[in-house]
Amino acid sequence: MVEPYISCGVCEFCTIGAYHFCREGLVYGVTVPCTRPPHLWGAYSEYLYGAPGAHVHAIDEMVPAEAACLTSVVANGVRWVRTRGRGQVGEAILVLGLGVQGLATVIAAREAGLGPIVAAARRRNVRKLELAKRYGAHVILDVEAPDICEQIAESLSGQPLPLAVECTGFERLIDLAVQALGPGGRLVLAGTTGGQRHALDVDAVVFKEIDILGGLGQAHDTELAARIVNSRRYPVEQMVTHTFPLCEAPAAIGLFKEGRDDVIHVALDPWQ
């Protein structure tokens, strides 16, 4: 499995392990045009060029390709729970949103020994809810319920919530996370907004001394994610709901952009 980041290894960010911020770095499929030799700079192909500075991880040959392709997604969850969120064994966690990133966060939380794991999402996609339970969520709530804050508190037996990971970028759910967190709580914002600016209850953040933490790339968290995928403890491949041959990439992208409730992750099979 190849990480998206290609790093120089010597700049101030690389030397402290933050190679996803590399000053001279490149990102597969994003910052390198396919016109640049040897032209294999993206994952929509049978082969990928292993450039100097690329980060490569071994995936067991018994692991399905559908699971292997989600290694970097699992690494996101690992980063948000362990590295950015500083999650500790036995701590409660609230995961908002159960798309592929939210489900990966549930896996990372379970693997790190957090609990109870409370996941909140819309109830329109039964498969997402079933996977969240299979991956280790102890409680699954309807995020659209009018008394969702009370339900979160009840699921924690009145104990303060120390950690929340928001995976959607929706303003209402960011506000919900701020409301739900206890004093000294940590909020990892992992969902992007497409450039939209959101309001934030600054008073609640100040009076509860909430840490607001951005969550971006995987950096060194991919190695642990690869071990999780290789362990086969979690049926990661079940997040892939639709597969297309490479020649139908536009259709695959179009399906994903529709935002249908039955779509979790769309994969391309270059050998199909």
What is the rounded CA–CA span in Å between residue 202 and residue 182?
15
Report the candidate in 150, 179, 154 with the shortest Cα–Cα distance to residue 164. Answer: 179
Average pLDDT, integer, range 35-40: 95
Tell me, what's the pLDDT at 217?
Answer: 77
What is the rounded CA–CA span in Å between residue 70 and residue 267?
10
Distances (CA, A) of 66 to 138, 141, 212, 244: 25, 28, 33, 12
Please count the residues of the chain: 272
What is the rounded CA–CA span in Å between residue 94 and residue 156?
10
Environment class of 89 (CB within 10 Å of its CB; exposed 0-12, middle 13-18, buried 19+):
exposed
Average pLDDT, integer, range 21-39: 94
Helix, coil or strand: residue 56: strand
Domain chopping of the chain, boundaries: 73-218
Find tokens 């953040």 and name the residue: 205
Q: Are 65 and 224 in contact (CB under 8 A)?
A: no
218 falls in which pLDDT band (50, 70, 90)? confident
CB atoms within 10 A of CB 271: 7
Tell me, what's the pLDDT at 74?
Answer: 98
DSSP 80: I
What is the rounded CA–CA span in Å between residue 121 and residue 221?
25
**Hey, which CATH number is domain 73-218, 3.40.190.10, 3.30.390.10, 3.65.10.10, 3.40.50.720?**
3.40.50.720
pLDDT digits (tens, 9 = 90+) for 166-191: 999 999 999 999 999 999 999 999 99
What residues are paired with 54 via a beta bridge?
6
The percent of residues above 70 in pLDDT, for the chain, comes to 100
